[in-house]
Each structure stands twice: as structure tokens, then as C-alpha cells.
Structure 1
Amino acid sequence: MRRYDDPVEVRRGGDGPEQFLWHGRLWKVRAVLAHWVETGPWWQGSVARAAIGSDEPGSEPTPVGDLLGERELWRVEAGRGADGGLDGGGVFDLSFDWADGRWQLVGCED
């Protein structure tokens, strides 16, 4: 799977993304293959470092906000066009970042 970090516009349906616009092309979701939530790298935050004693002496730990950075991901099968049938399509990983309300395409296999 190729990795990306591209912003996309997403239209949500009842169970997740229905359509997305990527590089000016409309993709119609045919099926949601997987759905999961990832937390941010909390283990790299100063609170975690302080807890295991690897932080610099005398430094103040940052608030627990390290634990709150999470994003929701969907792996979807999609094809181009309003009906999703203009090509063979592909499998895409779409993420929604709860902290900033943005959608991104993070992976593609076509």
C-alpha cells in the first residue's frame, strides 16, 4: 500500500464515508472493509517519559493531552465517479482527526 498524507473532502453516510474527493476526482465508496481508532503516540509524551524516569531531571510533565490525540480510520473499497463504476477502483485508507476535524487519505492500493 502506498502511503499518503493528502487532504480529502469526505461525505459521510450512516456507517462511515460514502464519497470522497481526492485531487479533483470523485470516488464512491463501494464497501467499508475495516474501521478502527488509533491513539496518538502517548508513549513519546513527557507524562509517559516522566512515569518511566526517562525525562530530563527537573522538567515538568505536560498535561494528559498526550492521550487525547486520536484519529478514526476507515479502509474502503472505492471506484471513481458518482456510481463508483468508472474504473476498477482501489482500496483506500481514510482518516478523520478528531483534534482538528480534518480528513486525510493516508494510504492507497489500486
Structure 2
Amino acid sequence: MRLYDDPVEVRRGETDGPDQFLWRGRLWKVRAVMAHWVETAPWWQSTTVQAVVGTDEQPDLTQEHAPPAGADLLVERELWRVEAGRGMAAVTGSDGEVVHTSGVFDLSFSWSDGRWQLVGCAD
């Protein structure tokens, strides 16, 4: 799977999952949801946790640099692994070769900022 960090526009379906998405000027129709999960931010790497656990580096915990208490626990994103295509599953090109117009995509929805990202693609 190739990794990306591309913004996408998503149209949700009846089940609140992605139904269509626009990526790099192309409209993709979700054919199947293969997996759905939620990830939290790596809270164990936060400066607050590092201050409690102790590290070789001294974190700057002054008021202007310190994140709000528990902020790392609130950052989460919802991920959807979908099979999506552009029209038919496969098309024959001008040279007779089969051109696949579908793939598997990982779409991420960030609850903190309300944005969708395409984070992975296997086509």
C-alpha cells in the first residue's frame, strides 16, 4: 500500500460511511467498505507523559508551550478501508490491455478539524 496525505472531498452514504470521494480531480464511487476503525494520537509520546515517565530531554512545560491537559487523548481519527472504482471494474485500453479502474483506499476523517484525507492506496 502506498501512503499519502492528500485532502479529499467525501460524500457520506446512508450508513455515515464514505459513499463517494473526489481525489486528484477524479470521482471515485465506494463499492464496498472492507474495514472501519478508530485511532487515537500517540499520547504516549506527548511532552506531558514524557515529563511523568522521564526522558533524557527536559520538555518545555511553560504555559505558552504546554498543551491543554488531556489534549492528546482527545485527538482521534476514524479510518475507512474501502474498495472504490471509477465506472466499470476494468476497461480494455486501445492496445487491448485491461486497465483497472478500481483500487483499495484508506480514508481518514479527523474529528478534531472535520477534514478527510486519503492516507493509503493499493491499486
Shared fold, TM over 0.5: yes
Q: State the superposition RMSD in angstroms.
A: 1.8
Alpha-carbon offset, residue 7 of structure 1: 0.5
* TM-score, structure 2 normalization: 0.79
Give yes or no for the alignment of 1:73 onto 2:79.
Answer: yes
1:29-68 alignment, distance < 5 Å: 29-54=30-55, 56=58, 59=61, 62=67, 63-68=69-74
Whole-angstrom distance in 2 between the partners of 1:69 and 1:35: 17
Contact in 1 for aligned 2:33/2:82 (Cα 8 Å): yes
Alpha carbons of structure 1 residues 53 and 30: separation in structure 2 relative to 1, 3 Å: same
5+ unaligned residues in a row in structure 1: which ranges?
none
Q: Match for residue 97 of structure 1?
A: 110
Number of equivalences:
107
Whole-angstrom distance in 2 between the partners of 1:58 and 1:106: 31
Percentage of identical aligned residues: 68
* TM-score, structure 1 normalization: 0.87
Larger radius of gyration: 2
Whole-angstrom distance in 1 between the partners of 2:109 and 2:22: 14
Question: What SS does the aligned partner of 2:80 have?
Answer: strand
Alpha-carbon offset, residue 18 of structure 1: 0.3
Whole-angstrom distance in 2 between the partners of 1:51 and 1:6: 35
Alpha carbons of structure 1 residues 53 and 28: separation in structure 2 relative to 1, 3 Å: same
Whole-angstrom distance in 2 between the partners of 1:29 and 1:57: 44
